[in-house]
Amino acid sequence: MKEHLIVFTRYPEPGKTKTRLIPALGAQGAADIQRQMTEYTVSQAKELQNLRSVSVEVRYDGGNRQLMQDWLGYDIVCRSQGKGDLGSRIARSHQFAVKTGIDYVVIIGTDCPRLNAEVMAQAFQQLHLAHDLVLGPALDGGYYLIGLSRLLPELFMGIDWGTAEVLQQTVVIAQQLKLSIAYLTPLADVDRPEDLSMLNRD
């Protein structure tokens, strides 16, 4: 069974990324946080490849493929997220992976400093245990990870992205579809100035 990890991120262009942190850090400081958190997440994805036979792909917003490859290296696949809201971009990337013969897909962001290779591995393990869906709840009401064992585009429709309702709305849809759900340990995202103290601790 083929496993695939997709990392969603933004190119760290000042003024266009981590905008909620700009009042505290300035445009460059917020972009630097985005850069550091992406590099950390990619390093953990590569660590995961030492634990499991998993392919890794970065889906980016902003910038272009050349900028992403110059930044993250040519040993990792980088593809644009494309147009639409977050849900349509996630669904599109998952569908693309499935079409290439992938069985288990885990999709993560780069906002969670405690999302490490071990947590990623746990997500794949839960998919192997015949769960349809794996969710990593974020403390702000969203999720930092979603794992899927089959195409479920309905999970990404009608979601109020960027709000505290994302996880709850996703679970309601999953229950309506009678999916088997596994939950990982809740973790905190770094999105707002008040989250920065946690980043310093980590």
- How high is the pLDDT of residue 78? 97
| 47 to 44, 56, 69, 105, 162: CA distances (angstroms) | 5, 11, 19, 17, 29
d(CA 194, CA 202): 14
Neighbours of 116 (CB within 10 A): 17
- Phi, psi (degrees; rounded to nearest 5) at 75: -90, 5
Which residues in the chain land under pLDDT 70? 193-196, 198-202
Q: Alpha-carbon Rg of the chain, whole angstroms?
A: 16
Q: CB of 98 within 8 A of CB of 3?
A: no
Residue ranges of alpha helices (H) inside 52-115 are: 65-72, 86-99
Q: pTM, whole model, 2 decimals?
A: 0.94
d(CA 41, CA 55): 15
d(CA 132, CA 130): 6
The encoded tokens of residue 6 equal 């997709």
What are the strands of the beta sheet with 181-183, ordered from one edge?
Answer: 77-80, 54-61, 3-10, 104-108, 143-148, 133-137, 181-183
Q: Which CATH number is correct for 3-201, 3.90.79.10, 3.90.1150.10, 3.90.550.10, 3.40.50.261?
A: 3.90.550.10
Q: What is the largest CA-CA distance in the chain?
A: 46
